[in-house]
Amino acid sequence: MSMLAMPESECQEILALFRLHLPHVPDAWLQELAANYGRDAVVDIDPNDVIDILSVLGEQHRIQTLLTEEEALEKICSRLRDALEARGIDQQQISASLLMIHDSSAKLAEIGDLVQRVAAEYGDSVKKGWAWYSSMHLDTPKRLVWVVTINVPSNSDLLE
């Protein structure tokens, strides 16, 4: 859905909500997430959904990559897979995924394609969310941030 920037007071309320429900998430991430609701943006995720996604038990990893002009979606997805592999993360272990796109020039259709491509690689059991945050600041880098929760089964789970 398209929304206008929320006032700073509402962003602070969202930050307080995040801090209350997500004490295990680094505060810098929470501040960034809450601040994004203060920008003119297409945001397709409710703050309560962010809480739900980031509350899934497991180890959280944040993968960030810069976006370049006219870069093919396949290349972006490939970089995300490479980043997972470099951290030793098996895609089948991902139990939650929050994708954030910071790019004021991106077209909504392209963003939808990217979200679909990333989401297609995971089963329906993965909790997913995404948001596109446009930035009015020219010095803000265009980037993609992906937070994934890894739920590694214990040895006893593997025996069942």
100 bridge partner residues: 131, 145
Residues in the chain predicted with pLDDT less than 70, given as ranges, are 1-4, 40-44, 69, 103-109, 111, 122-125, 130-144, 151-160
What domains can be seen in the chain, in order of their start residue? 2-152 (3.30.1330.20)
Q: Which class for 111: exposed (0-12), middle (13-18), buried (19 or more C-beta within 10 A)?
A: buried
Give residue-wise pLDDT tens across range 61-70.
888 887 776 7
Largest CA distance in the chain: 53
